Structures are given as structure tokens and as C-alpha cells.
Chains A and B, each alone.
Chain A
Amino acid sequence: MIEIQLNGEPKQVASGSTIADLVEAEGLGNRRVAVEVNLEIVPRSHYDQHLIASGDRIEIVHAIGGGQETA
């Protein structure tokens, strides 16, 4: 297992996991999301090739209701 930061929280994933594995494991496989690893966007077409490395800071985001400032 390797340790990563996923959306700001520590998380263990199996070594050799890809972004596609992570997105699927989080139940987000059929949802419209965008993924950033260490501040770089990972295009959807690369999810199944992009290997997760120990210490990666990964963000998975989606669209929610918002207009002006809604934080």
C-alpha cells in the first residue's frame, strides 16, 4: 500500500493503482469529475495509464450549485 492525499485527507491505495482504479473505487466512475495530481490536470483519457505514486496530492472535483461566492 502507498499513502496519498485525496481531497485533503490521507488515504491508502494499493501500489500499482491508476487514477481509473481510484475513481472507480470511490464510486465516481460514472460521474462527471475532473482530476488533478500534484496541481496538474490528468485528462480523462489518461486515467487508466496514470499510475498513482506515494505522496501524490490528488483532487477529484465536480460541479455543484453556485452563483457568485458560495463557499
Chain B
Amino acid sequence: MSQENSTTPLTPEDKPLVIAGKTYRSRLLVGTGKYKDLDETRLATEASRAEIVTVAIRRSNIGQNPGEPNLLDTIPPDRYTLLPNTAGCYTAEDAVRTCRLARELLDGHDLVKLEVLADDKTLFPDLVQTYAAVEQLINDGFKVMVYTNDDPIAAKRLELMGCVAVMPLAAPIGSGLGIRNPYNIRTIVENAEVPIIVDAGVGTASDAAVAMELGCDGVLMNTAIAGAQKPTLMASAMAKAIEAGREAYLAGRMPRRRFANASSPLDGLFF
């Protein structure tokens, strides 16, 4: 999506986000789940100013509501970069199958968000299955953005395998707990030569800003917006938090000090 209606210009010092050779102005990626209806999905997605939008692939309803509205009319593929995900997959085989169906569905579009889950209580990734799926998908020509733990070793390995972006969780999916391990996220960012996008765990705007201040290249979220009391307003807040956090990262924060340090000069006091 172009950003003609964006009020905030790209920070001059910044380089744009590039994923698999394509340039994006927005560093906020959003999901389209959990909204009350497609109208709310559209309004929140527009307010987020996201250009990359994730969608899920599911069985079509057979014998019911053939006329029901279609997500792809709300989030048109010519306006957004659609990112089909493998949510709900617990094996490499199911994830690869889902990606192939998505590629057919989207006329050969080969950018996918891989997540292979290990258990339904934590929704933490199964890395053994994730590695296996990454290998098969890359061999099959996919460009893989991969969900993983906040584990610097796993993140680097996934990068070296050829993933176009690595997406560590900040906290469990849908938990809204924020950045649970900022030191690991920072280490992942420092080690990386592909975009690092925090995927999952952000709860509110300050969490998104923290992720960006740590140097992440972007944040992907769904529940933090869709689960807010006013999703469209939260989407707008998130867009600003991402930009603010990015600028703060580029600005370089002041050092932390244990004690006070006066900001008014002490010279020239008259008492």
C-alpha cells in the first residue's frame, strides 16, 4: 500500500524496511484475525497504515453462505502485501501443504509466514519441525518469514538457512505480556543480517515502542489491535508507537545513571 495519506514522513536518517527485495515504509505488520466483522478489519488495517497483512488459509464452507463477504475484497492483494500464515500447523508437513495452497490461492505469491507450533497452551514454536519446514519451503522456492523463540542461536540458524526475515516472539501469542526478554531480542538484532520482526506478545503501544527501541526492524501484531476496546484507535496508536520507537532507536538513548544529574547549569548561581 502506498502511504500518500501518511502524516509522518520517513525519518530522513532511516533506511526503509526491505523484505525479500521489496521496500516497505511501514514497520508495522498486522494480522486480520479476531475482528468482529470485515468492516472493523478494514478500518483497523487502514488505521495501522500497515503494508504487510497476514491471512490464514482454511477450508471453504461447503453448502453454506456462498455469498458471504470475502476477506480478499476487504484486504485486496493489489493494495497490500498479503502474508499467508501457517497458523494452526503442528507439523512441517501441514505447514508446507498450507504454503503451497496459499501460493496457488494468491496466483504464485511466494512470501509466507511460517509458524509450526508445539503445543496449544503456550503456542511456542516447535523448532525441529520449523527447521524441517524451512528447508522444504526454501527448496520449493518460497520466501520464508519465520516465527521462532526469542533464542539468538535459533534465530541465527534460521537466517543462515535462508529465511528472508526472522520473527522472534516477545511473549506467548495472544498474551499481551510485552517484551519478556529484551536482552535476547537485542542479541538477536545485533547478530542479524536479515530483518528481525517481533511477532507475538505485544499488548499495547509502549510494548511496540520497546521492541523498536531495541532495534527491531518491525513488529507483527494481531490481538493487541483486534482485542482492544477500540481496535481502530489502537491501530493508530500502534502506528505511532512503531515510528516513535524507531526514531528513538536511531536517535540513541541517553545513558542510564543511578543518581540525578542537573540539567540546569550550576555556574552563575546567585546565592
Contact = CB atoms under 8 A, between A and B. Distances in A.
Contacts of B221: 67
Interface string B57-86: 111101100110011100000000010110
Interface residues of B, number: 47
Nearest to B107: A44
Contacts of A39: 97
A43 B32 contact: no
Contacts of A26: 60, 62-63, 66
A61 B71 contact: no
B150 interface: no
Nearest to B57: A61
Q: Which of B56, B87, B173, B222 has the most CB of A within 10 A?
A: B56
B63 A66 contact: no
B87 to A, nearest CB: 5
B70 A62 contact: yes
Measured as residues with beta carbon below 8 angstroms from the partner, the interface class of chain A is 20 to 34
Contacts of B173: 68-69
B58 A64 contact: yes
B117 A69 contact: yes
Interface in B192-208: 199-200
B123 interface: yes
Given A7-B60, A26-B63, A65 B71 contact: yes
B55 A68 contact: no
B169 to A, nearest CB: 9
B133 to A, nearest CB: 15
Contacts of B97: 36, 39
Contacts, number: 135
A61 B105 contact: yes
B101 A41 contact: yes
Contact of B62 (A7, A43, A66): A7
Contacts of B55: 63-66
A43 B104 contact: yes
Contact of B56 (A41, A44, A66): A66
Contact of A64 (B62, B71, B174): B71
**7 closest Cβ pairs, A-B complex:** A67-B31, A67-B222, A66-B56, A27-B66, A71-B88, A65-B32, A34-B105
Given A32-B70, A60-B60, A62-B57, 20 more contacts: A32-B72, A33-B60, A34-B105, A36-B101, A41-B100, A61-B60, A63-B82, A63-B102, A63-B105, A64-B71, A65-B31, A66-B32, A66-B54, A67-B32, A67-B222, A68-B147, A68-B174, A69-B174, A70-B31, A70-B34
Interface of A: 6-9, 11, 26-28, 31-36, 39, 41, 43-44, 59-71
